[in-house]
Chain A
């Protein structure tokens, strides 16, 4: 029964990891940008949520309505300024620039918010409550909600990319940005839209993580970015649903590792990550296979 519980918890945690990963995957798929500041941007979203909750007294869940659009705007602006000018100098430059951005954000957060860790919505029933299945399986409301949000986000993304005008342009630009220009599309603007969407999703990830655990200025790189990377690689680069599968595999591996020995939680996750890199470097769902 303990094993079943570990697997269930792992699957649910996978939803959180998918929220971390899908924006990273989208930005890589469309712009070939590996955004090393992705996790830090999630942390910014979390701190922003803490700010609007504690200072403006917005109810916890309603903070999403403010933070997600704000992060989308930030994503558009970042893309059109810093990241685009790095892209113009070559894809590798974006690695350096987003790494720099990551350092700046972390130190900025340290400066303004200290190194203390903070949670979101501590004490709420949603955050602490759970229900019981059988005698040994407890399912946390929060994890279930996060999983549902992740599935909804992926469904929404899929609908957006496959049906909407901008989704179509995003896919076209990802295929061939020069041909898209010839069709009248300003690929920089389309990149901006893609970044806005990516940061909207990671904002949800950051807020969710703040409720699930605690945020501190380094959470972005030492947890969120690493898990996002692992989920993307396991699931398959550029595959939307691959990020959920990757997140779930990572989550289950971690929980099973923890079941064997509580200190092996992270190790087990990375072993699976490495195993996939070695045995199936294209990921469990490769983009080609999806088409």
Chain B
């Protein structure tokens, strides 16, 4: 499977020909009760990359992101950040080290104003380029509406605030969970359009997206999950639409690609 070999990813414990990963997940197994939500997932996210996890509902994408953020405890496996094992750290400690997540459904603080939401995000910020002013500069409309409660904002605006709240913490890796959920396509376009600007400031992004075409457009590397397993991995340019479709839906044609993906991970 050529897609896999391109960046040397997946060779766990193997060569470092493309540099040290900023974020690495090794053989992660996560259970929700009896259900095995993630089954030996591994990934390596290099600095400056936009790494997209795609997959259908229930594939385990959000679970993966939440486990990296520290909100779920893995049954086994580990999460390494900047070479150090952070598996035992609480979510807030991971955030202050630079792993910051924009959670699914935005999860803004409803009784706080827009500006207060950003201030909470900035409370334990690492030193870095992002300030509340910077966020206001990026999203021009925010400045004059900063006193409003976030419930009064539209879905897209709320998503922008959620991203802003994460940015002001000055993350090193930004985890984006289903940005497009419940938003109009135009709005999704606009939000993803901000990505280059965010990356310019030296961020690494790991995102989960159900909208495959959107993910393929922005990502430098994609990984497809199906029922908790990796079924496809590679650079968007190196995978065909058929491969993606097969990996996404788990059809017979995907079997080969899927096995290739798993094989090198184990």
List residues of A whose CB falls within 8 A of some B CB.
165, 168-169, 171-172, 174-176, 178-187, 291
Q: Does B112 contact A183, Cβ atoms closer than 8 Å? A: no
A and B contact pairs by CB, cutoff 8 A, 7 listed: A171-B116, A175-B112, A176-B110, A178-B71, A182-B69, A183-B100, A184-B169
Q: Does A178 contact B103, Cβ atoms closer than 8 Å? A: yes
Interface mask (B82-107 → A, CB under 8 Å = 1, otherwise 0)? 00000000111001100011010001
Complex formed: what's the CA distance from A239 to B101 in Å? 31
Complex formed: what's the CA distance from A169 to B166 in Å? 15
Complex formed: what's the CA distance from A136 to B218 in Å? 80
Q: Does A182 contact B100, Cβ atoms closer than 8 Å? A: yes
Q: Does A185 contact B92, Cβ atoms closer than 8 Å? A: yes
Q: Which of A175, A183, A291 contacts B165 (CB 8 A)?
A: A183
When distances are taken between beta carbons in the complex, the residues of chain A under 8 Å from B73 are none
Q: Does A176 contact B107, Cβ atoms closer than 8 Å? A: yes
Q: How far is the CB of A119 from chain B (nearest CB, A)?
A: 41
Q: Does B90 contact A186, Cβ atoms closer than 8 Å? A: yes
Please report which residues of chain B, range 146-199, place their CB below 8 angstroms from some CB of chain A when the two chains form the complex.
149, 165-166, 169
Q: How far is the CB of B28 from chain A (nearest CB, A)?
A: 19
Q: Does A181 contact B92, Cβ atoms closer than 8 Å? A: yes
Most chain A CB atoms below 10 A, which of B107, B120, B149, B165: B120
Q: Which of B95, B111, B125, B165 contacts A181 (CB 8 A)?
A: B95
Q: Given that A176-B107, A182-B69 are contacting pairs, would A169 and B120 also be in contact in the complex, using a CB cutoff of 8 Å?
A: yes
When distances are taken between beta carbons in the complex, the residues of chain B under 8 Å from A181 are 70-71, 90-92, 95
Q: How far is the CB of B148 from chain A (nearest CB, A)?
A: 12
Complex formed: what's the CA distance from A171 to B108 in Å? 12
Interface size, chain B (Cβ < 8 Å): 29
Most chain A CB atoms below 10 A, which of B71, B110, B117, B123: B123
When distances are taken between beta carbons in the complex, the residues of chain A under 8 Å from B100 are 182-184
Q: Given that A178-B71, A178-B103 are contacting pairs, would A184 and B109 also be in contact in the complex, using a CB cutoff of 8 Å?
A: no
Q: Given that A178-B71, A291-B149 are contacting pairs, would A183 and B107 also be in contact in the complex, using a CB cutoff of 8 Å?
A: no
Q: Which of A168, A178, A185, A291 contacts B124 (CB 8 A)?
A: A185
B interface, by DSSP: helix, strand, loop or mixed?
Answer: mixed
When distances are taken between beta carbons in the complex, the residues of chain B under 8 Å from A180 are 92, 109, 120
A interface, by DSSP: helix, strand, loop or mixed?
Answer: helix
Complex formed: what's the CA distance from A174 to B109 in Å? 9
Q: Does B108 contact A168, Cβ atoms closer than 8 Å? A: no
Q: Given that A171-B111, A184-B96, A184-B123 are contacting pairs, would A179 and B103 also be in contact in the complex, using a CB cutoff of 8 Å?
A: yes
Q: How far is the CB of A127 from chain B (nearest CB, A)?
A: 40
When distances are taken between beta carbons in the complex, the residues of chain B under 8 Å from A174 are 111
Q: How far is the CB of A85 from chain B (nearest CB, A)?
A: 16
Q: How far is the CB of B26 from chain A (nearest CB, A)?
A: 23
Given A181-B90, A183-B165, A184-B123: 14 more A-B contacts, CB < 8 Å: A168-B119, A171-B109, A171-B111, A171-B116, A176-B109, A178-B103, A179-B103, A179-B108, A181-B95, A183-B166, A184-B95, A184-B125, A185-B124, A186-B92
Q: How far is the CB of B81 from chain A (nearest CB, A)?
A: 14
Does B228 count as interface, using CB distance less than 8 angstroms? no
Does B258 count as interface, using CB distance less than 8 angstroms? no
Complex formed: what's the CA distance from A247 to B112 in Å? 27
When distances are taken between beta carbons in the complex, the residues of chain A under 8 Å from B110 are 175-176
When distances are taken between beta carbons in the complex, the residues of chain A under 8 Å from B95 are 181-184
Most chain B CB atoms below 10 A, which of A172, A175, A179, A185: A179
